[in-house]
Chain A
Amino acid sequence: MKAIVNVALKKGVLDDQGKATHHALDTLGFKDIVKDVRIGKQIIMELNALNEQEAKQEVTKMCEKLLANTVIEDYQIEIIG
């Protein structure tokens, strides 16, 4: 079983990397297409066989404890069976 975790800054928290990248895309000619850019990180984990519900529970604990800093970051978990 595989877990994909996406971590990014929360909506209200200014994402300077995203802003700089957005600006670069603007100058490259994508000004009319790109509305917003947010930059995050993806953590891909191979898990020992668990059922999907248990996997989600465990990965949520990992996110709360270590993988995300919930003061400034949100996370999304995808479990692939």
Chain B
Amino acid sequence: MNIAVLQFPGTNCEYDTKYAFEKLGCKVTIVWHKDSSIPQDTDLVVIPGGFSYGDYLRSGAIARFANVMESVQTYAAKGGKVLGICNGFQILLEAGLLPGAMKRNNTLHFISKFKHLKVVNNDNIFLSKLKKDQVVNIPVAHFDGNYFIEEEGLKELEENNQILLRYCDENGNVESLNGSVSHIAGICNKEKNVFGLMPHPERAMEDILGCSDGEAMLRGFLK
């Protein structure tokens, strides 16, 4: 399985992401934002976490116009799988590949800690290795993770099973982390080939890091 991990100025999770997927046996290529295309045999594009272009103006707003994003748009339109983690999620929203927008956390703090998540839907490639309602423990690290979508859009997300993850406590009771609408931590598009989530599964790959719940999550992609 060939994975392309995008790299913008300010990206800081590209090597963690590379390590995580290599651990699962994938071949990972890091693709610079100025490149005009992604490798032809790519099975999955990952937009990793970080602070693309310093998060100036808005998180993800400038990265969306990077050279490489045009080929990501085409790739996604043809059904190619795209995963956005944290800043990658923000970029996917700004690019219109996923609906909604990110606001500053309602706590007005940068939140960096392990957080329990509830699997809301697993009828997709992303979470296919996890059970519905399963609780996983994955770290979050973000300032702008307060997901917003208007009521009508939220209804659509619910109807199409596009909400994949919600923040919850260790018993699976959903709870607020950052003010996110409906406690949303991750969503996918209607076609279910584009996924975005604020938590960092690539940081939860080994017990020595605190938890290895990220492994099952990322393994879902390996088909």
Whether A71 pairs with B61 at a CB distance below 8 angstroms is no
Task: Knowing A66-B57, A69-B101, A71-B101 are in contact, say whether A16-B108 is a contact too (CB < 8 A).
Answer: yes
> Does B146 contact A16, Cβ atoms closer than 8 Å?
yes
A13 and B103 contacting across the interface, CB-CB below 8 Å: yes
CB neighbours (8 Å) of A14 from chain B are 106, 179
Residues in B neighbouring A34, C-beta threshold 8 A: none
Chain A, 12-42, CB within 8 A of any chain B CB: 12-14, 16-17, 20
Give chain A nearest CB distance to B195 CB in angstroms. 19
Q: Check A67 for interface membership: any CB of B closer than 8 A.
A: yes
In chain B, residues 45-80, which have Cβ atoms closer than 8 Å to a Cβ of chain A?
57-58, 61-62, 65
Q: Which residue of B lies closest to A15 (CB)?
A: B103
Q: Closest approach, in angstroms, between the C-beta of A3 and any C-beta of chain B? A: 16
Q: Considering the chains assembled together, what is the distance between the CA atoms of A19 and B148 in angstroms?
A: 17
Q: How many A-B residue pairs have CB under 8 A?
A: 33
Tell which of A9, A13, A20, A69 has the most Cβ of chain B within 10 Å. Answer: A69
Q: Does B104 contact A (CB under 8 A)?
A: yes
Question: How many A residues face the partner with a CB closer than 8 A?
Answer: 12
Q: How far is the CA of A69 from the CA of B62 in the complex (A)?
A: 11
In the assembled complex, which residues on chain B have CB atoms less than 8 Å from the CB atom of A71? 93, 100-101, 148-149
- In the complex, are the beta carbons of B57 and A17 less than 8 A apart? no
A45 interface contact, C-beta 8 A: no
Q: A66-B61, A69-B58, A72-B148 are in contact. Are A16 and B179 (CB under 8 A)?
A: yes
Give the CA-CA distance A66 to B61 in the complex, in Å. 7
- List which A41-81 residues lie within 8 A (CB) of chain B: 66-67, 69, 71-72
Q: Is the CB of A17 within 8 A of B101?
A: no
The CA of A72 and the CA of B90, in the complex, are separated in Å by 14
Q: Does B94 contact A (CB under 8 A)?
A: yes
User: Which residues of chain B are within 8 angstroms of A17 by Cβ–Cβ distance?
Assistant: 104, 108
A78 shortest CB reach to chain B, Å? 19
Q: Which residues of chain B are near A20, meaning CB under 8 Å?
A: 108
Between A and B, 15 residue pairs with Cβ closer than 8 Å are A12-B150, A13-B103, A13-B148, A16-B104, A16-B108, A16-B179, A20-B108, A66-B62, A67-B57, A69-B94, A69-B101, A71-B93, A71-B148, A72-B101, A72-B148
